[in-house]
């Protein structure tokens, strides 16, 4: 996959023209025939897709180490595909779905995503939809047909603090990645020049007391603006860097104060490392950021008291129905069968004979009411905190695996 890039000269300063070149390259359409991380923009595009003529096929497949070994995924894929096509009575629709499944199988045979715990494909011939997404968490296997993409499993990937931009910086060549923990995708590069008069052009920066050459200062400004634009384009939450001290000082010095506060720390990796090496090198720093943010979110919920927070499944689901949830925190391992009322859309941890809220008998069982709660929170524009660190899980033990900070 070609990575968008810009080149800057030794004496180039940051200008509106350079900014426009970066923006233009960042907005180049992505290669659909390649695996990508799920970004908020991807999710919005998929959510807006609808087909009135021909089914939208949504395909999920787990790809843990055991399935990658000896291509075990083949047999799982065949079972899912056969079960799906066998249930389609219309011959034309069955042929269309079979063709889309063959295309997915060919893509998997050609290449599995190097990183991640699974894949999601979304395909529809009539709308020209084709998306290959590598997911960082394990999602249930499944094939879904409908007029719109089936996105519900993806809510498990939408943690508020699990969106990182990684910056590998040097004067000659810099690389920017978007990342979820354990998974990265390279999205931008800046190619520069090294000054033969580097030592002769040194000037001292006050911040940190690090001596930085003037050409490095100029390039640090360009890289800082590139990082700002990458964060904005891919809606990254935190920024991590791998850079020599001189370049890092110049880079951080030119970041806007708001982005300096989103610096998550440093990691060390070879500038030319592959994506798997970059992901492994960044993971400890990412997990430290995630744990810190999870604990801070739970502390805010604790401090809000009984009137400003809801703890436990029932109170949290009630708060969602009342549309009062500002932040929803859930232990990422927590799943709970339950039901949903088709009339008032209330969510329940059991399957009552009638809806306790509206009295309707139009209750449908659901395999995981937590998944629906996360989906509802996103629709209400609430923030999600999927708790994965052991320290934060211990904080939730006394009160339950689901909680909400209320509006």
Give the tens place of pLDDT for each residue, 129-180: 999 999 988 899 999 999 999 998 888 888 877 899 999 999 889 999 999 9
What is the reported pLDDT for 205?
A: 46
Let me know: does 171 contact 192? Beta carbons within 8 Å.
yes
- Select from 148, 181, 211 the last residue of a domain: 148
297 vs 301: CA distance, rounded Å: 6
Same domain, 107 and 177: no
In terms of domains, do 231 and 197 share one? yes
| pLDDT of 212 above 70 | no
Q: What pLDDT is stored for residue 276 in this prediction?
A: 94
Please say which residue of 123, 148, 173 terminates a domain.
Answer: 148
185 domain residue, yes or no:
yes
Q: Is residue 397 part of a domain?
A: yes
Residues 369/352, Cβ–Cβ less than 8 Å = no
Please say if the pLDDT value at position 30 is more than 80. Answer: no
Same domain, 104 and 252: no
340 and 392 housed in the same domain: yes
Total domains present in the chain: 3
- Which pLDDT tens digit goes with each residue over 64-98? 999 998 889 999 999 999 999 998 999 999 999 99
The predicted pLDDT at position 214 comes to 78
What is the pLDDT at residue 194?
63
pLDDT at 40: 85
Domain-embedded: residue 113: yes
Q: Strand 402-406 vs strand 309-311: parallel, antiparallel, or unpaired?
A: antiparallel
Task: Give the tens place of pLDDT for each residue, 254-282.
Answer: 999 999 999 998 999 999 999 999 999 99
Task: Give the residue, 238 or 211, on which the prediction is more confident.
Answer: 238
Residue 348: closest CA among 324, 376, 328, 325: 376
Q: 385 near 396, Cβ under 8 Å?
A: no
Tell whether 286 is covered by a domain.
Answer: no
Position 285 in a domain? no
Over residues 313-346, the pLDDT tens digits come to 999 999 999 999 999 999 999 999 999 999 999 9
CATH for 376: 3.30.1330.30
Considering the domain architecture, whether residues 61 and 84 belong to the same structural domain is answered as yes
133 and 89 in a single domain? The answer is: yes
Q: Are residues 262 and 307 in the same domain?
A: no
User: Quick one: 116 and 144 in the same domain?
Assistant: yes
Range(s) of the domain holding residue 115: 50-148
Q: In terms of domains, do 141 and 171 share one?
A: no
Among 407, 402, 388, 396, smallest CA distance to 136 is for 388
What local confidence, expressed as pLDDT, does residue 379 receive?
A: 87
Percent of the chain surpassing pLDDT 90:
70
114-118, 189-193, 229-233: which is most confident: 229-233
């Amino acid at each position: 996959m070609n990575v968008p890039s810009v080149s800057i000269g030794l004496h180039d300063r940051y200008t509106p023209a350079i900014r426009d070149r970066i923006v233009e390259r960042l907005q180049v359409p992505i290669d659909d025939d390649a695996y990508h991380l799920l970004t908020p923009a991807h999710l919005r595009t998929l959510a807006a897709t609808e087909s009135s003529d021909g089914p939208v096929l949504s395909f999920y497949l787990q790809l843990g180490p055991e399935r990658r070994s000896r291509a075990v995924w083949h047999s799982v894929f065949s079972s899912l595909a056969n079960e799906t096509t066998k249930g389609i009575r219309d011959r034309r629709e069955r042929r269309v779905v079979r063709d889309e499944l063959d295309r997915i199988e060919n893509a998997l045979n050609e290449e599995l995503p190097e990183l991640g715990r699974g894949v999601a494909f979304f395909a529809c011939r009539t709308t020209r939809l084709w998306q290959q997404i590598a997911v960082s968490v394990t999602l249930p296997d499944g094939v879904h047909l409908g007029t719109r993409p089936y996105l519900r499993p993806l809510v498990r990937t939408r943690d508020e603090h699990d969106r990182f931009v990684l910056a590998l910086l040097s004067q000659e060549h810099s690389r920017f990645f978007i990342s979820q923990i354990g998974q990265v995708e390279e999205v931008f590069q800046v190619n520069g020049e090294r000054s033969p008069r580097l030592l002769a052009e040194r000037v001292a920066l006050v911040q940190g007391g690090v001596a930085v050459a003037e050409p490095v200062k100029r390039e640090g400004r360009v890289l800082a603006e590139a990082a700002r634009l990458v964060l904005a384009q891919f809606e990254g939450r935190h920024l991590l860097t791998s850079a020599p001290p001189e370049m890092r000082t110049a880079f951080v010095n030119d970041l806007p104060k708001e982005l300096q506060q989103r610096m998550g720390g440093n990691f060390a990796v070879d500038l030319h490392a592959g994506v798997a090496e970059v992901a492994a090198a960044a993971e400890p720093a990412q997990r430290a950021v995630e744990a810190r943010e999870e604990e801070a979110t739970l502390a805010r919920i604790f401090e809000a008291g009984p009137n400003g927070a809801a703890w436990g499944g029932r109170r949290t689901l009630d708060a969602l129905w009342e549309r009062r949830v500002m932040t929803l925190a859930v232990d990422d391992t927590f799943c709970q069968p339950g039901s949903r009322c088709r009339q008032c859309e209330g969510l329940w941890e059991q399957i009552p004979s009638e809806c306790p809220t509206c009295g309707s008998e139009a209750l449908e069982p659901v395999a995981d009411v937590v998944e629906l709660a996360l989906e509802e929170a996103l629709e209400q524009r609430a923030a999600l905190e999927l708790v994965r660190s052991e320290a934060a899980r211990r904080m939730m033990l006394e009160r339950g695996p689901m909680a909400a900070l209320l509006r």
